[in-house]
Amino acid sequence: MIESVDSCLTCENLVDSLKCKKHDLSVEINNVCSDHSIKKAFSKLSDCLSCANYKKESCVNPGHAASGMLCFSWSSY
């Protein structure tokens, strides 16, 4: 059976360039730790269209922002 797991990609401590701001170290896509704190608004349905920064000056990737795209600066409404 395939299951979803909470990895560093779903943690609120993850910042740009796959860096953990809590532990101040780089992480991999499949890493997880006991201090994991899930981004409650982040899901597999999240994309630029549901980001609070979409089409605003605060968007860090305005040239790439589009339906189906997601970046590490994504912010929920």
Decide: 9 and 29 in contact? Cβ < 8 Å: yes
User: pLDDT tens digit string along 48-62?
Assistant: 998 889 999 999 889
Q: Output 7 or 41, whichever has higher pLDDT.
A: 7
Amino acid letter for position 60: V
Global pTM value: 0.49
